[in-house]
Chain A
């Protein structure tokens, strides 16, 4: 099976969907001629033409509103926000139009918004955002966040085929750092289904996106050094959450650490913790623990950013504390 990078997996998924369904088209800044700021859509303009790959003006609200309009009348737009950080410029369109139209008008809005997100690339406060929490709170939107190339390709396909607005959080640092096996040809990763990336019995780690990898590394170290067995649950979809997967893991282990790269307070880890406390209270052998970035804007200097972000060592420390409880 081919081993390809996370970014290639997204590219392939997009390309395959565009081949498969002529109503799928891309719109965004610098995606056509330039191939996209990260080169996800390199070669697409030549292959599909300017009717399928639309270079837009610099106007996020117009881009997101236009995607909504095009989806309303039966097309399947995939809008790119050059950096997830810029989605706030079109926040109103997403939460008041895209998210509410099916509820109010019984009309589907089958659009996808690709959001290159995440920190650890010296991006500073405006090129490092993980904005999922704001949209997690908006009924009517779906949110997905793949951590591996396999999931990246499967989820972009699923997102495009979904009849609802789907926000696709692709982590910038994972683009070229993570490689994995990705089958050729068509397959989807079902939206709403998480995945156990590392099986274990003593502690559950609930996580998604970039922190899946250090969580697995910490789990392996913990097993080797302390003999403690950790289960890493990769959510893959943030909305709707795979509640059953989360709860079944916690019910088996009794101890849980929730990890996300997004800042801690108000991050979706809080909702997951509440869910566990409410539905698995009697299975808990320790308080529910969360780990996220500290509650600040993303700082620029490498020393500051390292302090800001969760990492393998911090996860390991948290796991050890939990194990000892």
Chain B
């Protein structure tokens, strides 16, 4: 039996799998996932506000619409696994254990931020949490993630590496070189392609002609899945499988998570090129709205709990913002230090 799964059949296969998976997520887990998704949404809103107030400088990115993918995927990782998130996966940082405070400091480039002001947004690393942030060159982290997966295999660690890329980034050479290496060496990599329909202003119709990005998996002889990126259950189910495969030494998996980029490429992009109709369509599939409805229907989420979450999130964010605004930038002379390790 071929290990490659033709993506045309995937939906049918998945339908079976996700139903069973839905049973695997406990109420408590679902509630927790909802909390993280809500926190992610609110955190990014505050980032946008801070940017418009001139308090965050440079640039800012929003993963609005991607919350289920980011949160659900990282949820499948254990402490010993490695996370290489992209710029719309803030939720993944939080699930892996990063604090709101640290992420806020990081966005404001403060001296006491994880990257000590040397880089901004999500471009930091936290070795204790095994989070290695991205750089601006898209797909450039996939080879690095590959190397971590290689180390894991050589040292028999059985730890898994999860990383992400966009529909646009899947055209980059590094995407392909990494899959070439991971597939033939059976490295424990889970590669999630977040197909949110646009790469900046380039729609997917101008990016590729395969029916699904996950079709590319066939070219590498690895399993490929296309999933509904707004459905938390589907995300968790398929990612969990991929993680297990990797941990068992069966090699990499390519997962295409289909969502919509609800905001512009960055906070400076008005995204007028996105047809209003498309946005309206996807608004109806808002992942937060969906999970909320699911939880409300199951009576796991009540208005009281919801309100309580909102208060908690608001308070946590406010404290983080205040903390960050009161912290200072690093002293100027720091710029020259630590180019080399001792």
Q: Known contacts A51-B154, A73-B151: does B144 contact A65 (CB below 8 Å)?
A: yes
Cβ–Cβ < 8 Å partners of B155 in chain A: 75
Q: Which of B16-24, B54-62, B121-129 contacts A (4 or more CB under 8 A)?
A: B121-129
A interface size (C-beta, 8 A) = 44
Minimum CB distance partner of A106 in chain B: B338
Interface: A140 (CB within 8 A): yes
CB within 8 A of B148: which of A51, A59, A73?
Answer: A73
Residues of chain A contacted by B127 (CB below 8 angstroms): 107
Check B340 against A66 for contact (C-beta < 8 Å). no
Give per-residue flags for B142-164: 1 if the beta carbon is below 8 A from chain A beta carbons, else 0.
11111111111011000000000
Interface-centre pick from B124, B146, B147 (highest chain A CB count, 10 A):
B147
Enumerate chain B residues within 8 angstroms of A106, measured Cβ to Cβ: 116, 338
Q: With an 8 A cutoff between CB atoms, is A275 at the interface? A: no
Report A142 CB to chain B, min CB distance, Å. Answer: 7
- In the complex where A57-B177, A101-B125, A103-B338 touch, is A65 in contact with B118 (Cβ < 8 A)? no
Q: Report the minimal beta-carbon distance from B195 to chain A, rounded to whole angstroms.
A: 23
A68 within 8 A of B: yes
Of A54, A63, A103, which is in contact with the most chain B CB atoms at under 10 Å from its CB? A103
Contact B178 A65 (CB under 8 A): yes
Q: In this assembly, does A64 line the interface, its C-beta being within 8 Å of a C-beta of chain B?
A: yes
CB <8 Å contact, A72 and B144:
yes
Residue with the highest number of chain A CB atoms closer than 10 Å, among B82, B116, B181: B181
Q: Is A54 in contact with B125, judged by CB distance below 8 angstroms?
A: no
Q: Identify 27 residue pairs between A and B in the complex whose beta-carbon atoms are under 8 Å apart, listed by A's number.
A: A57-B181, A57-B184, A61-B177, A62-B177, A62-B181, A65-B141, A65-B142, A65-B143, A65-B174, A66-B143, A67-B147, A69-B151, A70-B150, A73-B82, A73-B148, A75-B155, A93-B140, A93-B143, A93-B174, A96-B140, A97-B144, A100-B135, A102-B341, A104-B118, A105-B118, A106-B116, A142-B340
Report the Cα distance A92→B142, complex, angstroms.
Answer: 13
> Closest approach, in angstroms, between the C-beta of A114 and any C-beta of chain B?
17
B342 surroundings in chain A (CB, below 8 A): 163
Q: B340 and A62: CB pair below 8 A? A: no
Find chain A residues with CB under 8 A from B115 CB.
104-105
CA distance A140 to B338 in the complex (A): 9
Chain A contacts for B173, CB-based, 8 A? 61
CB of B180 within 8 Å of the partner chain: yes
In the complex, A164 Cα to B184 Cα: how many Å?
Answer: 29
Chain B 160-199 residues near chain A, CB threshold 8 A: 173-174, 177-178, 180-181, 184-185
Task: Tell me the complex Cα distance, A75–B149, Å.
Answer: 12
Query: Which interface residue of A77, A102, A106, A163 has the most chain B CB atoms within 10 A?
Result: A106
Given contacts A65-B143, A66-B144, 15 further A-B contacts (CB under 8 A): A54-B150, A57-B177, A61-B174, A62-B180, A63-B143, A68-B143, A69-B146, A77-B147, A103-B338, A104-B123, A105-B118, A107-B125, A139-B339, A140-B339, A142-B340
Question: Is B137 on the interface with A (CB-CB < 8 A)?
Answer: yes
Which of A75, A109, A139, A164 is B154 in contact with, Cβ under 8 Å? A75
Q: Is B225 an interface residue (CB 8 A)?
A: no
List of B residues within 8 angstroms of A6 by Cβ: none
B310 adjacent to chain A (CB < 8 Å): no
Interface residues, chain A, with chain B CB atoms under 8 Å away: 25, 27, 51-52, 54, 56-57, 59, 61-75, 77, 92-93, 96-97, 100-110, 139-140, 142, 163-164
Shortest Cβ distance from A58 into B: residue: B180
Q: Which residue of B lies closest to A75 (CB)?
A: B151
Q: Closest chain B residue to A111 by CB distance?
A: B147
**Most A C-beta atoms less than 10 A away, residue of B140, B174, B177, B342:** B177
| Chain B residues with CB below 8 A from A54, complex form | 150, 154, 185
Q: With the chains together, A107 CA to B129 CA distance in Å? A: 14
Contact present for B146 and A62 (CB under 8 Å): yes
Is B132 part of the contact surface with A, judged by Cβ < 8 Å? Answer: yes
Whether A164 pairs with B143 at a CB distance below 8 angstroms is no
Q: Residues of B contacting A163 with CB < 8 Å?
A: 340-342
B119: chain A residues within 8 A (beta carbon): 104-105
A72 touches B338 (CB 8 A): no
Which among A25, A61, A97 has the greatest number of chain B C-beta atoms within 10 A?
A: A61
- Most chain B beta carbons < 10 A, residue from A57, A110, A164: A57
Bound CA span A100–B342, Å: 15
A106 to B127, CA, bound (A): 10
A69 touches B154 (CB 8 A): no
By a CB distance below 8 angstroms, the chain B residues around A102 are: 338-341
